[in-house]
A and B are shown apart, each in its own frame.
Chain A
Amino acid sequence: MFSHPIDFLHQFLSWYLYCAAQSRFLVSGSADNTMRLWEVQTGKCLFFWEFPTAVKRVAFSEDDDQIVCITEQRMGYQGAVRIFNINRDGDGTQQSKEPVSMFNPIGSKAVVCAFAHTPDLILTGHESGKVALFDAKTGEEVLSNEHAHRDVVTDLQMAQDRTYFITSSKDKTARLHETRTLTVLKTYTTETPLNSAAIAPNKPYVLLGGGQDAMSVTTTSLRQGKFETRFWHKVLEEEVGRVKGHFGPVNTIAVSPKGDCYASGGEDGFIRVHHFDESYFRAKPYGDLEIED
C-alpha cells in the first residue's frame, strides 16, 4: 500500500523533510495532514502519523531517538508541537502512534522547530519573529527572544553540535544565535527577504537564500529578483560570494554534513546540487585566521 516511488511521497505538497543523522530514516511532513517515516535506502514508507491539520515542520533529535513536528493552526485546532519516540529496532514499522509529549505554544504561531543542544529542550521560531526554547516534557516556555527578527522566521538550522543556530527571516536578515541563551551573535543583512539559511560545516561560512516574494516575481526582472545563494563569512559578517542559477526565489538550502556540497530548492521547481570545488576549500579570503567551527 505504501510502495510509492521515492519521488512521490505525499498526496499534497510536502512542507519539510528531515533525514536522520545515520541516514537510515527520513521523516517528512506534508499538507495532507500526515507525517511519514521512510527508509532512505529503499524509499519504503515505514510508518505514518495522521493529524487534524497540516504538518509544517519536522526534525530528528541529535541521536535519532525522537522526532519533533509542528502542525498548523487551522480549522479550530491550535498549532501544536508533538514529540515522538522512534523505535529503531527491527524494520522500523513498529512505531508508537502516540506522542511522548505535546504542547501548544501560545501567542504567535510557531513555524519552525528543532531539538536544542539538549534533547529536553525544543527550539522554535515564530511568525512574529520570536525565537523561543520550550521544555519538551512540560511544554513550558523556558526562554524567549521576542525581537530576534522583525518578520516571520522562515528557517532555523542548527550547527553540528547544536550550541548555536541560524535563523532566516522575511525581514531580509539572517541571524546567528547562541542556543543556550538565545542571544544574537551575528547578523547578516541583505536586500531581499530570506527563505532559508544554512551553516556550512568545517568552513566559516553561512549560506543564505531568498529573493523577491513569489507573488511579485513576474513583475521583477531576473536581475532585480536576486535569486542567488549568498555566501557570508560567519564571523566577519561580510558577503564573500554568490552562486546564481535559480530563476525564482530560493526556498530552501541545505549543506551536506560533510560540507562538500550543498543543495538548494527554488520556486522555479528545480533542486540544484552544487559541489564545492577545490578553491572553496583552499581559499582564505581573509588571510590566515584560524576559526573554530
Chain B
Amino acid sequence: MAPNGVNGVVHDDEGIDYADIESKYQVEYDEGLDNILIVDGVPVIDKSKLEKLLQKIAKDFSRKGCPIKPENITVPWDDAKGKSKGYIFIEFKNADDATRALATMNGHPFDAKHTFLINRFTDFERYMNMDETYHEPPPEEYKPKEHLRAWLADPQGRDQYATYRGDEVEIHWHGKPSQCEVAFSKLNWTDLYISWSPMGTYLATLHRQGVRLWGGPSWEPVQRFAHPLVKLIDFSPNEQYLVTWSYDPIVVREGAEQGPQYFSPEDEGNNIAVWDIKTGHLLRTFPSVYPEGDEAKKQMQWPALKWSPDDKFVARVTPGQQISVYELPGMHLQGKKSIKIEGVIDFEWRPIGDKDREEMEKENKPAANGAPAKVKKVRENMLAYWTPEVQNQPARVTLMNFPGREILRQKNLFNVTECKLYWQNQGDFLCVKVDRHTKTKKSIFCNLEIFRVREKDFPVEIVELKDAVTDFSWEPKGERFALISSNDPNLGNPGPGITIKTEVSFYQLDRSKGDFKLLKTLAGRTSNTVRWSPRGRHVVLATVGSSSKSELEFWDLDFNMDETRRESAPWGTGIQHLGTADHYALTDAEWDPSGRYLATSASAWRHTLENGYAIWDFRGQELEKHILDRFKQFLWRPRPPTLLTKEQQRQIRRNLKEYSRVFDEEDAAEESNVSAELIAHRKRLVDEWNAWRQRCKEELAEERRKRGMKAEPAKKAPEEEEQEEIEVWVDEVIEQTEEVVE
C-alpha cells in the first residue's frame, strides 16, 4: 500500500522555500476599479441641489436598466467655488454591470444642455500612461500580385476550360492537339460546383462557409465571401459585384465576426446578399422573393437580381407590384422609390452593344485629355417589362428608359398566357415570345413580337406561328434568330423515353423591307437546344437530356459567301449543313469563346451513362473525347471583350492571309516533328517484327528439313484460281425471208 505520495514515500513540505515559484505564478488580481465609471457632462451645481441631482441621475440610470443607488455616486467638489466639478464617479456591483451601463448610458441626454459622456475609471489611468511618442510602423513588404488575366497572354493564344470530376477540378489549356495540357488541378477545390466570372477573370468555388474566388496563373485565393450554405451565385456583367443566395436564411451567431465583410444582425432572415468583389465588403442583403400563386409550384427566379449592363444599377422585381432599382455602389434605392407597376411579372435590361460602347468611349475621351469637363450626360439604360391581362386591361409590353423612367413604347397584347423577353446581345432587337391561347383556352400557339430598338419609334413586327415554341435564341451580333417549335402531343408531359418531335426554323432580317423572314425550316427533328456560336454564323442543334437520341447538327448560315456579299445573294442560299455528330446522352453543349470549338458533356449530376466530355470543331469533327465516370461539369473560360478597335480588327481581317501563313508554317513544322518521331517509332517496331519473323521462318525451315518434310509447305502461295472463260455464241433467227434476185 502506498498511503501517501508516490511509492509510499511521504513528502514533507516543511522547510522548503516556495517564494520563487509563488512569484512566478502569482495571479494578477484586478485592481478592483473595473466597476467604477466616470460620468462627465453632469450639470455643475451647488450643495443645495446635490441630493436632487443624485436622485435624478440614479433614476435615469435605473430607467435604462442599470439600477444604482445615490450613495454609490461620488461627487468631487471644488471647495473654492463651492460647486461640483461637473463629473461624478459611480461604483457598480461588478465590472459587468459597469460595462452594461457604459453601453446604454454613454451619450445619454440628461437634459437639454447636458449629455453624459462615460468612461471607465481604469481607462483614464491607461491613457495617462500611454507612450505618446510616434513609432513609425514598419512598412509592409510589397507582395506583387499575379496578373489576373495572364492566361490571355498565352503565346500560343490558347483558351482554357475547367472540368470538375469526382473531387477534382482541373484547368486545361485547349489549342492544337499538341498544345492541349492540364494547366492546374486540385483535389476538393469546391464543395458544390465551379463557376467562371463573365469575363473569365475569376473562378468561383462554393463551400459550406461561402464563396471563394481564385485567379492568376497559380490560382491563389483572391477573395472570399462568408455566406454560409450558399447555393447560387451570380456575377455582375463587369465583374464588380457578386450576388449570392442560400436557401437557409442568414443567422448571425453570438460572437460571430463583425466587420464590413460579414453579416450583421440587420441581415438576419435574408437569403440574398450583394458583395463588392474588389473589397469583399457586403453591400446589402435581401429576402428571396417567390412569384405569387401556387404554393407548391412556386420557384424562385434566378438570377433574382438583374444587373444593368454597365454595372451601375441592379434591379429586382416584386411580382405584381414593382421593380426596385438600386444604385451601385451604395445599394440605395434609386430615386428613393421603386417603379410601381401593377401586375408586373418580369423584366430585362437591354444589353449594351459594341456601338454603344464606342460612343461611351468617345464621350469619355475629351475629359481624359483635360479638356473642360463637359456636363456628363448620364447614359440612359433601357429596360423592358411585361404585365399580364388583368380584368379588362390587356397584357402589355413596355420599354422604359432608366434612370429617366420615361416610357418609350408600349404594346398591347391579347389572349396572353405567358411572355418571355429575349434581347439580342447587342441590344438591337427585342423579341417578346408571346404564348397565346385560343378563345377556348384549349390550345396554345405563339406570336413573336419583335421590337427594332435602334429605329425611330421602335417599330414592332409580328411573326405568327401555329405551334408552341420551346426555345428561341438570337444570333449573337446578328440579325437572325433560331426557334424550336413543336406540335407533339407529348409536349408538356415529359416522361422517360419520350422524345419530342420538333421543328427548327431560322429567320433573318430582310434589310430591304425591314422585316423578319423565314430562311429555312428543318422538319422532323428531335433537337431541343440551339447553340449559336458566340461570333454568330455557326449554329449547333442538339438533342439534350434524352436517353434515346443524342444528335448534334452543325450548320453554317453564311456558307459560300462573305459578309459583304450577303445582301446580293439569293434569299436563304447561304444556309448549309456542315456535319452531324453524336454524343451519347449528352446533357450540355457549349461553344468556346472564339466560336471555333464546341464542347459537349454528359454530367453525372443528370445520369450515370457514359459520363464525360467531347470537343468538336465547328464542322462537327470530333477532336477529343473522354469518357470519365463521375464527370460533373465542363466550363469554357470566358474572355473579356477585345481591346482592339474596329479599325484594328478590320486591318487584321484584311491581312488574314499573311497571318495564316505564319501559323501554317508553324503547324507544318510541328507536324513534321511529331510525325517524324512517330514514324521512327513505328519503323523500329516493324523492323523488330520483320527481323523476328525472318528468324522464325529460318528456324521453322530448319526444323522441317530435320523432320524430313519439304522445306516450306506453308508457303503455299495463294494460287490464282484458274478461271475458265467460256464464250457462248447464241444465234437466234428472228426472221427469214427469201428474195429472188433476178
Contact = CB atoms under 8 A, between A and B. Distances in A.
A185 B714 CA distance: 22
Interface string B196-207: 000000000000
B682 interface: yes
A291 B696 contact: no
B703 A289 contact: no
A224 B694 CA distance: 41
A278 interface: no
A292 B610 contact: no
Nearest to A202: B718
**Secondary structure at chain A's binding surface: helix, strand, loop or mixed?**
loop
A287 B679 contact: yes
B714 A223 contact: no
Contacts of B609: 221, 224
Interface string A259-293: 00000000000000000000000000011011111
Given A235-B689, A291-B690, A163 B682 contact: no
A244 interface: no
B610 A223 contact: yes
Interface in B690-705: 690, 692-694, 696-697, 699-700, 703
A258 interface: yes
A202 B714 CA distance: 13
Contact of B689 (A117, A160, A292): A292
B441 interface: no
A198 B689 CA distance: 18
Contacts of B689: 235, 291-292
Interface string A110-147: 00000001100000000000000000000000000000
Contacts of A224: 609-610
A161 B714 contact: yes
B685 interface: yes
Contacts of B696: 161, 163-164, 178, 180
Interface residues of B, number: 22
A290 B686 CA distance: 8
A236 interface: yes
Interface in A213-254: 221, 223-224, 235-236
B440 to A, nearest CB: 43
Nearest to A220: B609
- Tell me which of B692, B696, B703 has the highest count of chain A C-beta atoms within 10 A of its own C-beta: B696
B718 A258 contact: yes
A235 B697 contact: no
Interface in A168-203: 178, 180, 185, 202
A177 to B, nearest CB: 12
A223 B550 CA distance: 12
B56 to A, nearest CB: 88
Nearest to A186: B689
Contacts of B685: 235-236
B577 interface: no
B703 A118 contact: yes
Contacts of A286: 682
Contacts of B693: 292-293
B189 to A, nearest CB: 29
- Tell me which of A160, A163, A178, A224 has the highest count of chain B C-beta atoms within 10 A of its own C-beta: A163
B584 interface: yes
Interface in B574-602: 584
Contacts of A180: 696, 699
Contacts of B692: 178, 185
- Tell me which of B685, B703, B713 has the highest count of chain A C-beta atoms within 10 A of its own C-beta: B685
B709 to A, nearest CB: 8
Nearest to A260: B718
B697 A161 contact: yes
A276 to B, nearest CB: 14
B682 A290 contact: no
Contacts of A178: 692, 696
B411 interface: no
B513 interface: no
Contact of A289 (B682, B694, B699, B700): B682
Contacts of A160: 714
B143 interface: no
B21 to A, nearest CB: 71
B584 A223 contact: yes
A221 B547 CA distance: 10
Given A258-B718, A291-B690, A293-B693, A117 B683 contact: no
Given A163-B699, A236-B682, A292-B690, 19 more contacts: A117-B700, A117-B703, A160-B714, A161-B714, A163-B696, A163-B697, A164-B696, A178-B696, A223-B584, A235-B689, A287-B679, A289-B682, A289-B686, A290-B686, A290-B690, A291-B686, A291-B689, A292-B693, A292-B694
Interface of B: 584, 609-610, 679, 682-683, 685-686, 689-690, 692-694, 696-697, 699-700, 703, 707, 713-714, 718
Q: Give the 4 A-B residue pairs with the shortest CB-CB distance, closest first.
A: A292-B693, A163-B696, A161-B714, A235-B689
26 contacts: A161-B697, A161-B700, A161-B714, A163-B697, A164-B696, A178-B692, A180-B696, A185-B692, A202-B718, A221-B609, A223-B610, A235-B685, A235-B686, A235-B689, A236-B682, A236-B686, A287-B679, A289-B682, A290-B686, A290-B690, A291-B690, A292-B689, A292-B690, A292-B693, A292-B694, A293-B693
